[in-house]
Structure 1
Amino acid sequence: MLNVLDLFSEAEAVWSTADIIEALETSRSTGYRYIKTLHDAGLLTTVRNGYYSLGPRIIEMDLQIRQTDPLLLASHGVLEDLVDKIGHSALLCTAFRDSVLCIGECRAPLSPANRFSRGQRRPFFQGAVSKVILAHLPHHRLKAIYARHSTEIEDAGLGGTWSVFRKTLGEIKKDGYLLTMGEFNPGVYGLAAPIFNEQKTALGSVGVAWDEKARRDVEVQQAVLAVKQAASTISERLLLENQQRS
C-alpha cells in the first residue's frame, strides 16, 4: 500500500485512481482499498473526482520531524556558523535506503536556487556528502551495498572489485573528509565531513559547495577545518543527548 506514495513526484504530482491501480499492477478492489486507507489517513488528498495528490498529514509530519529529529536538533546554529565562517551554503544530509537525503540547509547570500536542498536525494556513489557517509558505514552494510550496486560503483570510479572499493573508501575514511570537483555541476567543488553515532558509524554528513568561477577567494584548508569542526560539534551534541537520555 505504501508503494502508492512512491508514485508521486514533482513531475507527476497528481494521479488518477485508474493510473494508480495500473502502476501497482493490482486488482481494482485492492487498489481502491489502498487509496481509501491512505486518503482516510490524510496521506492522500482529493484534487478532483478520482484524482489524488499527496495529503496534508505529510505536511504535519514534516513539522513534527523538524521539531523532534535528533540530527536536525543537534545541527541548530551549526550550519549558520559554517556559512558565516566560509561564506557558502551548508547542507545536512543522512543516508536513506541506498542514497543520501538532504534534511537541512542554510543558504548563503546569492546562493544559486537550483542547488541540492532539503527533501532531495542523491546517489550514494557521487558527491562529497554521499561518499563521505558511505566510507564510514559498517563492513557488513558495505558488502550488501556492493552486491546490489557493483556496476554503479565501478561507473562512479570507486572500484571495479570489492577490494578496490574497500580501499578507496578506506582512503576517504583516513582523511576524515572528502573534497570533490564537478561531480554534479562543472566547476563546482563539494566538501563534506561525516557525523557519527556512538559506534562511530556515520549517521550523516555536513557539506558545502562553491563555484570555482564565482568564488576564487576560497581557502580550501580553512574550509576543510570548518566543515570538520561542524560535523564534530553535531556528533558531540548527539552523543551528549544520548547519554542524558540513558
Structure 2
Amino acid sequence: MTVTATQGSASLAKMLSILELFTEAEPVWSTADILEALETSRSTGYRYIKTLHEAGLLDAVYSGQYTLGPRIIEMDLQMRLTDPLLLASHGVLEDLVDKIGHSALLCTAFRDSVLCVGECRAPQGPANRFSRGQRRPLFQGAISKVILAHLPHHRLKAIYPRQRTEIENAGLGDSWSSFRANLGKIKKDGYALTVGEFNPGVIGVAAPILTDQKTALGSVGVAWDEKQRRDVDVEHAVLAIKQAATTISERLLEKQRS
C-alpha cells in the first residue's frame, strides 16, 4: 500500500470515528467538542463534519450542534428488509416464544462484542432487557459465550492476549489452554447456559447460528428469571433453542446455495 493510500485510509477512519462519539448519554455534540475530541486541525475537522452532514450521517439540530443523521434511519430500514440473518429468522423467533413463553433474541458478533439484531418479545416480557442495536461484552452471557466458542481459531488467538483479564474475570479460564477447554465444552454441547451474569437469578440459554464451516454467524437466545418462572423446563428450552438456531443456519445455507 502506498503512503498516500495509507494516509487516505487513516483519514477515512478518523472521519468515521466522529460517529462513535454519539451515544444515548451524549446524543448531541457541538462543533467545538467534536474538533477537540478528534485532536486534528480545525480545517480538517470542519471538512469531516461537512462531509458527514452532506451524506446524511450527521444532522444539524441547532447552530453548531449535531446529532446522528436521517440517513442512518434509512439504512436501518434497508437492513431490516434485506439483512440475510434477520430474514432467515422470520417466524423462528416467534415460534420460540410460543414454545418457551419468553422473549427471544437474535445476535451477531461485532468487534469484540455481541450486537442484538432482532428480537421477539413475549406478551409479559420485560421491555428493558437486551434489544436491537444494543451491545454486550463478548465474554458475558449465554448469547455471547456461544458465539465466542464458535469463532475461528485465528480470531480467538488474536482476542486472548488482548483481553486476557476480561476472559479470566468472566470465568472462561486463566490460561490459553483453560480458555480453549471451556470454549470446547460449549462447542461440544452445542449451547451455552448461564445464570445471573447480568441480572441475579436470570437464566440465559443460547445456541449458535453456524456457517458451512461451523463458525458462528450469530446466536439465538432466551432468558428468564428462575424465581418468577419455576415452570420452565430447561431441557425443553435448550432443545427448542438449538432447533431454532439450526433452522436459521439451514435457511442461510440454502440461500447461499441458490
Q: For residue 24 of structure 1, report the CA deviation from its aligned partner.
A: 1.0
Aligned to 2:196: 182
Task: Tell me whether 1:173 sits opposite 2:187 in the alignment.
Answer: yes
Runs of 4+ in 1 over 6 A off after TM superposition: none
Alignment partners' CA distance in 2, 1:63 and 1:198: 28
For normalisation by structure 2, the TM-score amounts to 0.94
| Counterpart among 83, 98, 104 of residue 112 in structure 2 | 98
Which residue is equivalent to 1:233? 247
Aligned AA for 2:25? A
Letter in 2 for 1:86: I
Cα displacement (A) at 1:37: 0.2
**Partner Cα distance (1:159, 1:188) in 2:** 23
Task: Give the superposition deviation at 1:153.
Answer: 0.5
Q: What is the Cα deviation at residue 38 of structure 1?
A: 0.2
Q: Which runs of 5+ in 2 are unaligned?
A: 1-14
Matched, 1:56 2:70: yes
Structure 2 residue aligned with 1:115: 129
SS at match of 2:207: strand
Distance in 2, Cα, partners of 1:214 & 1:159: 31
Tell me what 1:78 maps to: 92
Distance 2:104 2:150 in 1: 20
Aligned residues: 244
SS in 1 for 2:123: coil
Q: Write the distance in 2 (CA, Å) between the matches of 1:55 and 1:175.
A: 44
Q: Does 1:68 align with 2:82?
A: yes
Cα distance in structure 2, aligned partners of 1:213 and 1:147: 38
Which string of whole-angstrom CA distances, capped at 9 and with x for unpartnered residues, describes residues 139-198 of structure 1? 111000102101110111111111110011001001000111000000100000000011
Identity in percent? 80
TM-fit CA distance, 1:112 = 1.0
> What are the ranges of 5 or more consecutive residues in structure 1 without an aligned counterpart?
none
- Residue 56 of structure 2 aligns with which residue? 42
Aligned to 2:152: 138
Offset at residue 214 of structure 1 (A): 1.4
Q: How large is the RMSD of aligned CA atoms in angstroms?
A: 0.5
Partner of 1:25: 39
User: C-alpha distance in 1, partners of 2:236/2:174?
Assistant: 34
Equivalent residue in structure 2 for 1:87, among 101, 108, 128: 101
| Secondary structure in 1 matching 2:163 | helix
CA distance in 1, matches of 2:47, 2:228: 53
Distance 2:227 2:183 in 1: 29
Which amino acid is 1:127 matched to? G
Distance 2:168 2:177 in 1: 12
Q: Secondary structure at the match of 1:2?
A: helix
Q: Matches of 1:38 and 1:56 in 2, distance apart?
A: 11
Report the AA paired with residue 210 of structure 1.
W
SS in structure 1 at match of 2:67: strand
Asked whether 1:150 is paired with 2:159, we answer no
* Equivalent in the alignment of 2:216: 202
1:212 corresponds to 2:226:
yes
* Structure 1 position 68, deviation (Å): 0.6
TM-aligned CA deviation for residue 134 of structure 1: 0.3
Partner letter of residue 123 of structure 2? Answer: P
CA distance in 1, matches of 2:29, 2:226: 42
Corresponding residue of 2:30: 16
Q: Deviations over 1:97-149 (max 9, x none)?
A: 01000000000011112100000000000000000000011111100010210
